[in-house]
Structure 1
Amino acid sequence: MKLSPNFHLSEFTQSQTATRLMLDNTPGPAEIAALKLLCEKVLEPVRENYNRPVLISSGYRSPAVNRAIRGSRSSQHAKGEAADFEIAGIDNLRICQWMERRLNYDQLILEFYERGVPASGWVHVSYREPYRNQELTAKRVVRNGRRRTVYQNGIVG
């Protein structure tokens, strides 16, 4: 099923976890509608600007898949509102900076990016209305011998 001119539902439902654990990762009508809006408002403009495929690494997550990966109970992925992606050959920081200046979204997160390593990390974006236009940067840190993810405001490379 086509969600928009350049995106198909299958790109958002593929999941190694779902395949490995034989979990259903089929979105319902509300989630499909949210995915269409995400494509229309955010991902299509990104695709058009860079004129390259937007490679979705994580899109929709059914409740079972979300539990299996220990995702947040409030994850926008489980609502069809979010996607993690990269564009081959384009620095993820650069993508986020372009999006920040030109698009509306709910959240834009530069995840696990390392300065000087253009292909590091990925871009997380969500869309819902009303949107917040919230920007964050996620980094891994070690505290008390445990790896944790910390979020700081803004897009920081």
Structure 2
Amino acid sequence: MQLSPHFHLSEFTVSQEAARRGIDNTPPAVLIPRLKLTAQHLELARTILGGHPIILTSGYRCDELNTAINGSRTSAHMRGDAADFICPRFGSPLAICRALAVQKDLPFDQLIEEGTWVHLGFAREGMRPRRQVLTKRPGSGYQTGLAAA
């Protein structure tokens, strides 16, 4: 199922961990509208990043998969409201985050520079985006803002 011009549902559901463990990571039909909205937001991010392809590393996660990877129990991934990605033709995850953080038209709830990828999460339906910008640091958790390279 095509969710937007550049994103297919399969990109949001593929998971090596799910395949290894035999987990069915198919989202329920009720989440398809949220996944479509996330894909539309990623289309805007793609435009901001010069139209370069965005490669999803994680999208939707069913509860079983989220538990298997030790994901947050409140992860936006489980609602279809988040994606982790890279955009090698644009630059590093830090460069991507710097470009996205200043965009007022991108209604993100959380933008996290995770080291080797970017996490872009959106607010629950009906909620106002927090526009939280974070950097994940190994061994010390998250810090507010983007760390220097």
**Deviation string, structure 1 residues 3-33 (Cα, Å, up to 9, x no partner):** 1111000001000111111111011133222
Structure 2: segments with no counterpart, 5+ residues: none
Contact 1:31–1:81 (Cα < 8 Å) also in 2: no
Count of residue pairs brought into register by the alignment: 141
Which residue of 2 is the match for residue 61 of structure 1?
A: 61
Percent identity over the alignment?
A: 45
1:7-156 correspondence to structure 2 within 5 Å: 7-41=7-41, 43-49=42-48, 50-89=50-89, 90-102=91-103, 103-112=106-115, 121-128=116-123, 129-141=127-139, 149-156=140-147
Q: Which segments of 5 or more consecutive residues in structure 1 lack a partner in the other structure?
A: 113-120, 142-148
State the 4+ residue runs in structure 1 displaced beyond 4 angstroms: none
Deviates further, 45-54 or 70-79: 45-54
Residue 71 of structure 1: how far off its partner (Å): 1.2
TM-score, with normalisation over the residues of structure 1? 0.84
Deviation of the 1:72 alpha carbon? 1.3
Larger Rg: 1
Question: Deviation digits for residues 111-150 of structure 1, max 9, x if unmatched?
Answer: 12xxxxxxxx110011124211111100102xxxxxxx51
Partners of 1:31 and 1:137 in 2: how far apart? 28
| 3-state SS, counterpart of residue 46 of structure 2 | helix
The RMSD of aligned alpha carbons is: 1.3
Give the 3-state SS of the residue equivalent to 1:106 in structure 2: strand
Distance 1:140 1:30 in 2: 35
Q: 1:118 maps to which residue?
A: none
